């Protein structure tokens, strides 16, 4: 018996291209399809998690929302890798910077993803797992970002289970942004580690790239227009990377 449609994706393997871009927000999946893809077809809309497959400069590519957080991206990326034959998933999201070297609107590319989540416990490992991206995807992505003249940083992300942290009364050293920042972590987001673990387990490829929407140390923020334009740059970076991966 085929394992599709799944409870969360009402499609067949033929509906998806080998590379799927995953923004968190379903409306952004629609935005990419409307503005960057030719002949885009809606291939999933279960729970409003819009998925589209179309063509970018002649390359067949899919875009589907991940929702927010590790449980959500964990479900969608698991099903895409294991039941729909997808080879590469590229998260395109936003992150809060915790490194002074990083400015809002910069792009952070997760070579690794630390986490405060218990996601890895399902694998029963006799130690801790280091979630890392696909080197092949990272290489193509950084080459492309350099060609495009984008400001980007490659390093560790923190995939956090919480957006709001109860830090009342905590000494500064224990505040998550300070503690992880001390270890050179660039920025906090909420999905990369689960995506990287699912890719590792499935023998597939994943990469998380994020635009920095806010700075948790300096308090610098982006305007809605800045967020929109920097998201557009990242989308083009992801689409060009997807196209090169097909060669
Ligand atoms: N925390 C987690 N995820 C985020 C943040 C944050 O501060 N900013 C953008 N995505």
Distance 36 CA to ligand 1 centre (A): 26
Residue 81 lies in domain: 13-245
- pLDDT the model gives residue 1: 56
Model's pTM, two decimal places?
A: 0.97
Q: Give one DSSP letter per residue of 215-235, joined into a string.
A: ETTT--B--HHHHHHHHHHHH
How many domains does the structure of the chain reveal?
A: 1
Residue having the nearest C-alpha atom to atom 10 of ligand 1: 95
CATH code at position 17: 3.40.50.1580
Cross-strand pairs, 52: 42, 63
pLDDT digits (tens, 9 = 90+) for 71-97: 999 999 999 999 999 999 999 999 999
Is 3 a domain residue? no
- pLDDT surpasses 80 at 60: yes
Helix (H) or strand (E) holding 106: none
Is 6 a domain residue? no
Is 2 a domain residue? no
pLDDT digits (tens, 9 = 90+) for 96-152: 999 999 999 999 999 999 999 999 999 999 999 999 999 999 999 999 999 999 999
Distance 188 CA to ligand 1 centre (A): 5
The mean pLDDT of the chain is 96
6 CB contacts (<8 Å, ≥6 apart)? 79, 83
Is 7 a domain residue? no
As for ligand 1, residues whose beta carbon falls within 6 Å of it are 94-96, 160, 163, 188-190, 213-214, 216
pLDDT category of residue 245 using cuts at 50, 70 and 90: very high
Kindly state the percentage of the chain with pLDDT values over 70. 100
Residue having the nearest C-alpha atom to atom 2 of ligand 1: 189
**Is position 25 annotated as part of the catalytic site?**
no
Q: By the 8 A CB rule, do 91 and 190 touch? A: no
């Amino acid at each position: 018996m085929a394992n599709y449609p799944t409870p969360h994706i009402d499609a067949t393997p033929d509906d998806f291209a080998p590379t799927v871009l995953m923004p968190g927000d379903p409306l952004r999946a629609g935005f990419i399809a409307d503005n960057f893809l030719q002949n885009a077809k809606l291939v999933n809309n279960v729970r409003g998690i819009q998925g589209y497959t179309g063509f970018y400069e002649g390359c067949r590519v899919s875009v589907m929302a991940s929702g927010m957080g590790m449980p959500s991206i964990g479900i969608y990326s698991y099903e895409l890798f294991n039941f729909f034959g997808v080879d590469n998933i590229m998260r395109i999201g936003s992150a809060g910077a915790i490194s002074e070297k990083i400015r809002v609107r910069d792009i952070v590319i997760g070579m690794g993803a630390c986490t405060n989540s218990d996601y890895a416990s399902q694998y029963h490992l006799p130690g801790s797992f280091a979630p890392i991206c696909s080197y092949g995807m990272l290489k193509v992505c950084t080459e492309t970002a350099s060609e495009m003249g984008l400001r980007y940083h490659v390093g560790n992300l923190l995939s956090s289970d919480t957006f709001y942290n109860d830090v009342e009364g905590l000494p500064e050293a224990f505040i998550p942004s300070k503690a992880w920042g001390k270890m050179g972590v660039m920025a906090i987001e909420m999905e990369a580690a689960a995506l990287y673990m699912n890719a590792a387990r499935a023998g597939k490829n994943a990469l998380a790239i994020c635009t920095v929407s806010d700075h948790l140390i300096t308090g610098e923020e982006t305007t809605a227009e800045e967020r929109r334009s920097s998201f557009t740059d990242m989308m083009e970076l992801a689409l060009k990377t997807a196209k090169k991966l097909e060669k």
